[in-house]
Structure 1
């Protein structure tokens, strides 16, 4: 029983603050010690300053997300570390354009209070390093989620990128980011290498009529092995696209696809 409680509590860290509190309280793992669900629902409503219907909705949302994480993640799920982590990331990469172009949609969750900056040097690496060189060679446009900042990485001359949200994020608060990333060149792979917890990553790569000779799925591989590992063969669909999805990505491992033109 204790292992079940530990697994539920660990997965609940990937939820937003209100959903996490509602789910754990409804399950009797947090909040008041009452054995009656209606009492726990009333406590949730009072604690989040909402009516009882909203509290029930938060419980349904939190329990549904928690059940999905437990079903697909199990004991291997990653505990969030750092000041923020990724709940969901969706990348649409078009290789049939004059320049490789990616739209990156990311839902992040703040792990610290008053989080006022998100390090996109990590984000660019985690969502697939498009450029052959550094951040100076990548064009990034923010479609939603804040203001783009250019920073210096320590004492080096390399330019980094950061995003300042419209307002500082509270612990457990979810925040949506939408970016467009363009570059003149890119390596023949696109991978996510999370630096902290990433619950879900979906990737669509559109080759169009430029169908590669081979496409391979890369799942939980070392970055140094991106070119050498065999990978699982994939087929493009009728539109010349490949779609892949990953759950509960392990930090420092690569997830994505590789192709040979």
Structure 2
């Protein structure tokens, strides 16, 4: 696989509806299959998923203008879902405050850089942004229900072994106290159920707020093996936020939050903030508006270990 071959196939992919084209299979040539791990047995939905996640991940390291241009060209930018490439080019021109000829050049440059990065990854010349010696999370999908008597979080996680003989996962959950009310958090304040994927070996208090969870796997994982787990957490929230603060690399974090009928006054998206800032109203973020069902949905990619990603809310009337 060469970068030139991959560029040619990616330029074909961007035509028409881009990544959303119905007949996606015929546009996926051998270079894209090799670069993005697409197997002959993959159906259209799986091909679309692999392409989308790979292109978004690779473009994350590009300069902002090239990233915006490339994602829009493929129809992967939230604000550029137009059915025709020309309409997406026009959007890029407006977004970058450039003419359309310059917008096309930015798109081409973005595609060329993505191809170079993909070839480097395949050749082993490019290390992950946050390499791990044990395991990392490929996908973390959480559904948080705040409209229950006791809030519940359903967590579906796919992990990847970065070494041989990974037999357990070290997880953690923090019940953050409010700054003005330093209640004591005890083991009975958190309920954990394992639906599938392992056995909860122990729950220990690692600090006054943080629970350490050790999950034993059904069998040890070999390097590059994938494994799915599903957990449910139930706890009373002491502070109005829910964030992921990864210990290990996380490639994708997808969060749905369902609020009770009495909606919060403000809801903000928190991304790459210090953990202590997650509970600080002075730490700003993108404002979110619940949909007709009282829900918000946010997604993060390439999470940096030790930083917080998620949602914070404040009751109505609180500034």
TM-score, L = length of structure 2: 0.57
For residue 70 of structure 1, the aligned residue among 58, 62, 75 is: 58
Gaps in structure 1 of 5+ consecutive residues:
1-21, 28-53
Q: Distance in 1 between matches of 2:303 and 2:222?
A: 24
Counterpart contact for 1:99–1:183, Cα < 8 Å: yes
Deviation per CA, 1:22-66: give whole Å up to 9, x if none.
999946xxxxxxxxxxxxxxxxxxxxxxxxxx96458x9697354
Is 1:255 matched up with 2:314?
no
Q: Distance in 1 between matches of 2:147 and 2:132?
A: 37
- For this pair of structures, how many residues does the alignment match? 207
Match of 1:113 in 2: 164
For residue 209 of structure 1, the aligned residue among 261, 281, 284 is: 261
Q: Distance in 2 between matches of 1:233 and 1:180?
A: 28
Within-5 A mapping of 1:1-261: 26=34, 56-57=40-41, 64=51, 66-72=54-60, 74=62, 78-121=129-172, 124=173, 129-130=174-175, 132=177, 133=185, 135-150=187-202, 152=204, 160-226=212-278, 227=280, 228-261=282-315
- CA distance 1:74–1:107, change in 2 (3 Å): farther
The two structures, once aligned, show a CA RMSD in angstroms of 3.3
- How far off its partner does 1:195 sit? 1.7
Deviation per CA, 1:224-245: give whole Å up to 9, x if none.
2221311111111110111101
Counterpart contact for 1:114–1:168, Cα < 8 Å: yes
- Give the number of the structure with larger relative contact order, counting CA–CA contacts within 8 Å between residues 6 or more apart: 1
Counterpart contact for 1:78–1:249, Cα < 8 Å: no
- How far off its partner does 1:116 sit? 0.6
Q: Secondary structure at the match of 1:209?
A: coil
Deviation per CA, 1:62-110: give whole Å up to 9, x if none.
9735444213455996233141101010111111100011001111111
- CA distance 1:25–1:233, change in 2 (3 Å): closer
- CA distance 1:207–1:147, change in 2 (3 Å): same
Match of 1:40 in 2: none
Match of 1:37 in 2: none
